[in-house]
Homo-oligomer: A and B are copies of this chain.
Amino acid sequence: MPRYNEEHLEELHDRRKNQLIHAAIKIFARHGIKGTKISMITEEAEVSHGLFYHYFKSKEELFTMLIQQAVQTSVAEVENLLQAYGTPLEKIKLLSNSILDESGAPFFMLLHHARNSEVIPDEAKQLLKDHSMEVYVKLLLPLFQEGQETGDFIQGHTEELISTYLTVLSGVMVLGEGYTIPKIDYLLRVIS
């Protein structure tokens, strides 16, 4: 048996783990918790199903972890956006684009499944409760107010405007196969 040094082993460990995580995101996003079998994940990752349990304690634990990551990442992304240069419209366009490209979808689909699933772990439920639309509305409020002042965005109830736009964005992201993601300029018409 060849001997690897510690570092190499750890790297291998992480690679395997990421392999499984990526597979899990993909499958969970499409099929939800109940709809995905461990074997679907391990087949996607091209490992044996037994190996799953070397890296994660259970299906639920992994699901919860992914939800947690998704929540954290998304809030961070919005916060970053606010620091960026540009007009409010440009920033929202930036945000929309970062969501609409391929990588954004699994995040929304994961949350979507979490929200509509009977069986998600309590911990995940709590995460979702703390992660309602309101959080984003609050974060984006200053930006939208500024946009309404500059005339970038249409007038009207600001919170409602934000919430509407995010809902449209979320909906489009959640649809999955069989639908073409709309061009961003169409979507921006909702608010500008």
Chain A contacts to B: CB under 8 angstroms: 30-35, 40, 112, 115-119, 128, 132-133, 160-161, 163-164, 167-168, 170-183, 186-187, 189-191
Which of the residues B32, B117, B168, B175 comes within 8 Å of A187, measured between beta carbons?
Answer: B168
Is there an interface contact between B187 and A179, defined as CB atoms closer than 8 Å?
no
A40–B34 Cα gap in the complex (Å)? 14
Contact A176 B115 (CB under 8 A): yes
- In the complex, the answer to whether A167 meets B174 with C-beta atoms within 8 Å is no
* Contact (Cβ within 8 A) B30 A32: no
B174 and A118: CB pair below 8 A? no
* Distance from A6 Cβ to chain B, minimum over Cβ atoms (Å): 14
Contact at A167–B182, with CB atoms within 8 Å? yes
Nearest chain B CB to A160 CB, angstrom units: 8
Return chain B residues, CB-CB under 8 Å to A177.
115-116
> In the complex, A141 Cα to B42 Cα: how many Å?
45
- With beta carbons under 8 angstroms apart, the residue of B35, B128, B178 that contacts A132 is B178
Whether the pair B180, A167 counts as a contact (CB closer than 8 A) is yes
Flag if A175 contacts B182 (CB, 8 Å).
no
- Which among A40, A167, A170 has the greatest number of chain B C-beta atoms within 10 A? A167
Task: Tell me the nearest residue of chain B to A169, going by C-beta.
Answer: B171
**B residues in contact with A170, CB < 8 Å:** 171, 175, 179
Report chain B residues within 8 Å CB of A189.
Answer: 189-190
Complex Cα gap A190–B185 (Å): 9
Provide the bound-state CA to CA distance between A155 and B43, in Å: 47
B35, B179, B182: the one within 8 Å of A32 (CB): B35
Task: Name the distance in Å between A31's Cβ and chain B's nearest Cβ.
Answer: 6
Question: What distance in Å separates the Cβ of A2 from its nearest Cβ neighbour in chain B?
Answer: 10
What residues on B are CB-neighbors of A132 within 8 Å? 178
Docked Cα-Cα span, A174 to B190, in Å, equals 19
